[in-house]
Structure 1
């Protein structure tokens, strides 16, 4: 044991360098790379979790675009009904019922988006 300690004492800085090099290798290969999350900036995420957050944001964006398309379609339908009435045409009751159903549906979609935001905020 004294021989080993004497060798370590004689090559003190070499031993320290080897220990630091081993620690650096273990840290670089053993630790997973992390970045701040997209949804929660205070949370660090790895590559897989970041990919899941990106997919979630893309899905949310697609849902919002679909909602915008529905709103534009509803506006166009209401505009067409207004043009038909202004032109002296008859009003189609089935068309009005369908339009009212679409308005109620848009209200439900908006409510669901608001509730999803509240749930996401409360679970984060």
Structure 2
């Protein structure tokens, strides 16, 4: 039962990040109309570094696919960790009222990391 729940949660998690990565390339989801001015400055700075957003998008897509596949979930979760920390910090600093979804996603990611902790033992030794 636990494996089925983890698969469904991982599937939804992976699909959210695949969608997010694809949106960075094709911009099919509109940006929120009311964003804090500080966050707009940060987003503008990110877009001035031409290679940054495509890199993040590619990592989100690849990690999203890997998280869905049980055999590669540990690798996908590791790839997603720095991106998720950045998302979480950005919401904490610039938009704390929108923190609910990133917190839930972060908890799911931590669950995946803890569930695969045996696979990380050789890295940590």
- Does TM-score exceed 0.5, indicating one fold? no
Q: In terms of Rg, which structure is larger?
A: 1
Higher helix share: 2
Could you say which structure has the greater relative contact order, defined with CA pairs below 8 angstroms and 6 or more residues apart? Answer: 2
Structure 2 length as normaliser, TM-score?
0.30
Structure 1 length as normaliser, TM-score?
0.30
